[in-house]
Amino acid sequence: MKKIQNYINGQFLSALSKNYKNNSSPITGKIYSKFPDSDHEDIDKAVMAAKKAFPKWKSLGKKGRYNLLMSLADMLDENFDKFVEAESYDNGKPEWIARSVDIPRVSENFRFFATASLHFSSECHEMDGKAFNYTIREPIGVAGCISPWNLPIYLLTWKIAPALAAGNTVVAKPSEITPMTAYLFSKIVHKSNIPKGVINIVHGLGEKAGEALTKHPDVPVISFTGGSNTGKKININCASLFKKLSLELGGKNPSIIFNDANFNEALNISLKSAFSNQGQICLCGSRIFVQSKIYNKFKTAFVEKTKKLTVGNPKNKVDLGAIVSKAHMNKIINYIQLAQDEGGTILTGGNRIRFEGDLREGYFIEPTVIENLDYKCIVNQEEIFGPVVTIMPFENEDDVIKMANATKYGLSASIFTSNVSKAHRMSSKINSGIIWINSWMMRDLRIPFGGMKDSGIGREGGFNSLRFFTETKNICVKI
């Protein structure tokens, strides 16, 4: 059975404890590899390596780092197909999604941030001829990068790339649920010219290896993407050590469809927003609000389209693959049950799917649409993170703003209307970090990405990431 290894100081290592944990594929439900059950000693070893590698990596300068990161990006592209297959098998997502969304982004992250670092300028504040201040941004040191399982290598490299481009070295902890592509990544790093110790990948459990990273005194900066409850714990750990911290957390995002929206556009986009990646994207629109005049027509069309979505073997051109793990599948099924207990009506879906043959023990769920739930009920408040949406009518702008803003989250929202003034009015009143008008998930890597309220702290993306991964220093020169 394949054994995933940690990658520390340019070496592939088992955990110091020699313990391993099982890794299964959600497509078959079967164990197919093992990963190191690392703890604080492994993290410490990785941090020491990253600390030692830091001065040399920093002194390479922007251009030196740019050259190495661009060549790493080329090597990642040469292994594109391997990444696609591994990501789909480990996570359960359809291969075509890995091929069109996840894996292209891996090399793109490196190219984008390597290039951005060349364009990152400093500021000057002149004091009426008496003095001038120039403000520089310096790399901080060892960056800790912790990522979730839904877009495993896409999000891991979204953190590693800017950290490195800004001149830091990295210790990364991928999700224990999807460790395979991070391991493939470390194999490619090993073949590249990136000096040893610059990139270290430590596998293991969040509460053991992840927590050790956030508590390590020699890791002054942590970038975390994951659930809000985990983010809360990390925030507490980092606060006492005054670490710089970025938290990209959960969402319970509204899709708001007005009477005057382009009907088919709103229908197709909100469907995609509901069920892409099995509904396991932090940006998925999981609460659909439809204005009353078109509510019945929209609901009927949405349910019809949902019924036509295909679920199955991720190797085929299906709309939905498997849910990432048995525990997560059961959590989603429990929410569907809770929705019924709360008075909801299942319009379509609601069940686990059992296929014949190799996929029999796989974790598949029908895309599910639920009606008749109050906007304040638990199912409309908590993040389900699966192929489950609720649909609700609204009367007017005030009505829908109240409902859309009624959760503890504030990550993203989509607003569908043909009235530009209304779109702007609504955008200013929705408490979310990211708003899409007549669209969803149109991503530009330069934009500030992140959420309000329990959806996170700080913004990443573009120069925001480079600012986050650097320390600001002002130098005042008297004239």
Asked if 234 is part of the footprint of ligand NDP (rule: CB under 6 A), the reply reads: yes
Q: Which stretch binds ligand NDP (CB under 6 A): 94-102, 230-238, 389-397, 419-427?
A: 230-238
Q: Minimal CA–CA distance to 90: which of 154, 185, 177?
A: 177
CB of 114 or CB of 201, closer to ligand NDP: 201
Q: Which of residues 146, 257, 294, 426 is near ligand NDP by CB under 6 A?
A: 146
Distance in Å, CB of 222 to ligand NDP, minimum: 9
CB of 423 or CB of 441, closer to ligand NDP: 441
CB of 246 or CB of 270, closer to ligand NDP: 246
Buried b (16+ CB within 10 A) or exposed e, 76-85: bbebeeebbb
Residues 453/413, Cβ–Cβ less than 8 Å: no
User: How far is residue 21's CA from residue 37's CA, in Å, rounded to a whole number?
Assistant: 6
Q: How far is C-alpha 24 from the chain's CA centre?
A: 21
Q: Which helix (H) or strand (E) holds 223?
A: strand 221-225
SS3 (DSSP) at 384: coil
The interface with ligand NDP within residues 399-458 (CB under 6 A) comprises: 411, 451, 456
Q: Which stretch binds ligand NDP (CB under 6 A): 3-11, 104-112, 243-251, 268-276?
A: 243-251
The interface with ligand NDP within residues 341-400 (CB under 6 A) comprises: 383, 385
SS3 (DSSP) at 313: coil
Q: Which stretch binds ligand NDP (CB under 6 A): 124-132, 144-152, 183-191, 389-397?
A: 144-152
Q: Which of residues 26, 94, 139, 148 is near ligand NDP by CB under 6 A?
A: 148
Catalytic residue among 211, 282, 366, 460: 282
User: How far is residue 321's CA from residue 367's CA, in Å, rounded to a whole number?
Assistant: 11
Q: Which of residues 34, 58, 137, 173 is near ligand NDP by CB under 6 A?
A: 173
Catalytic residue among 211, 248, 366, 460: 248
Asked if 38 is part of the footprint of ligand NDP (rule: CB under 6 A), the reply reads: no
Q: Which helix (H) or strand (E) holds 478?
A: strand 470-478
Q: Which of residues 181, 214, 325, 432 is near ligand NDP by CB under 6 A?
A: 214
Q: Which helix (H) or strand (E) holds 301?
A: helix 292-308
Q: How far is C-alpha 401 from the chain's CA centre?
A: 26
282 carries an active-site annotation: yes
User: How far is residue 457's CA from residue 382's CA, in Å, rounded to a whole number?
Assistant: 19
Q: Which of residues 16, 60, 205, 437 is near ligand NDP by CB under 6 A?
A: 205
Asked if 227 is part of the footprint of ligand NDP (rule: CB under 6 A), the reply reads: yes
User: How many residues does the structure list for the chain?
Assistant: 479
Q: Which helix (H) or strand (E) holds 326?
A: helix 326-341
Residues 87/153, Cβ–Cβ less than 8 Å: yes
Q: Which of residues 139, 162, 197, 206 is near ligand NDP by CB under 6 A?
A: 206
CB of 42 or CB of 211, closer to ligand NDP: 211
Q: Minimal CA–CA distance to 280: which of 94, 450, 460?
A: 94
Distance in Å, CB of 450 to ligand NDP, minimum: 7
Residues 270/440, Cβ–Cβ less than 8 Å: yes
Q: Which stretch binds ligand NDP (CB under 6 A): 69-77, 175-183, 348-356, 416-424?
A: 175-183
Which residue type is seen at 19?
N
CB of 145 or CB of 266, closer to ligand NDP: 145
Which residue type is seen at 432?
S
Q: How many CB atoms lie within 10 A of CB 197?
A: 24
The binding site for ligand NDP (CB under 6 A) comprises 146-150, 173, 175-177, 205-207, 210-211, 214, 225-227, 230, 233-234, 248-251, 282, 383, 385, 411, 451, 456
**Active site residues per annotation:** 248, 282
